[in-house]
Structures are given as C-alpha cells and as structure tokens.
Amino acid sequence: MERYEKTFLVLSAAVLVAFLVALAYATIAMHIELPGKAGVIPIKPGQNVAAAVLATAPFNHPGVTKIGPDQYQVAIVAQAWTYYPREIEVPAGARVTFVVTSVDVTHGFEIPGTRVNMMLIPGYISKLSYRFRKPGNYRIICHEYCGILHHTMTAVLRVK
C-alpha cells in the first residue's frame, strides 16, 4: 500500500511541475498574457448603460486611432448583435491594442487563429494588445451566447 501512495505522490508532483513549466513557457517565451480590465465606465444611478458608454472616450468615437509609430488603438462597442465598427483596417506588423466594451449583455470578442479572446461585460472595459504579422482578413466573432441572433455577431479586421 505504501508503494502506491509514494508513486501517486511522485506522479502528482511531476504533473504540477509540468504545468508550472508550461505556464512559464507560455508567459515568458510566447508572450501570452491575459486580457486585463482596463477600467469601469462611470454610470450614474438610473443612467442608461449605452448612453454612459457612448459618452465615454474612446467609445464616443469608436474605430482605429494611431497612438505611436506602428501602434494603433481600436475602440469597439459590442451590442446585440453587432460590433461597431463592423470593419477595421490596420497595417501588417503593427501592434494593435483592442479597447472593447458592451452596452447591453455579456458578449465575447475572439479572433480565431490568434490569442485575442476577451469577455465583454457591460460597463467594464476590456483591453488586449496583439501584433498581426500576416496580412489578410481576420474574422471577429462573439463566443458568448447573447441571444437569438448570436450567430450573426461578427466583424472583419483587415490587415494590409
């Protein structure tokens, strides 16, 4: 009985070490990071969330803004069942920082084939940066069920 317990403990420790090595490799070598909560939109009691979002920068002028050499910020507003703006264009090789929020329900924001994947909660600002090295059209999809037309909630990111 004691031999089985020792084997189990050694295997458990080995699995934990393997997970820690994989986590360290992903964060250090692959530069993978979790999206961060960039802030909260100030909403007064009784105020409509959509009105508060659309009155707050950068969501009062959603779209692409050049913020430095080869650096762009993309402000996007999600609402049932669309993203605004629906089409975005950035140059290849540029570092793109997505600043995204929702005005109605919880939505998802995912660009398949990349590590861009965020959850959008009404009134909270989600922020994530990514460098698109390959030109092409990238589809933005909602991965959180948000209602009957959830499957139509898409946008296009064009990398030129």
- Rounded CA-CA distance 67/15 in Å is 43
Secondary structure (3-state) at 107: strand
Query: Which one is the CATH code of 35-159: 3.40.605.10, 2.60.40.420, 3.40.50.2000, 3.40.1180.10?
Result: 2.60.40.420
Where do the domains of the chain lie?
1-32, 35-159
For residues 64 and 88, is the Cβ–Cβ distance under 8 A? yes
Q: What confidence tens digit (pLDDT) does each residue in 13-53 have?
A: 999 999 999 888 877 776 666 555 567 777 778 788 888 88
pLDDT in tens, 70-98: 999 999 999 999 999 999 999 999 999 99
Give the per-residue pLDDT at 36.
55
Distance of alpha carbon 42 from alpha carbon 40, whole angstroms: 6
Mean pLDDT of 114-132: 90
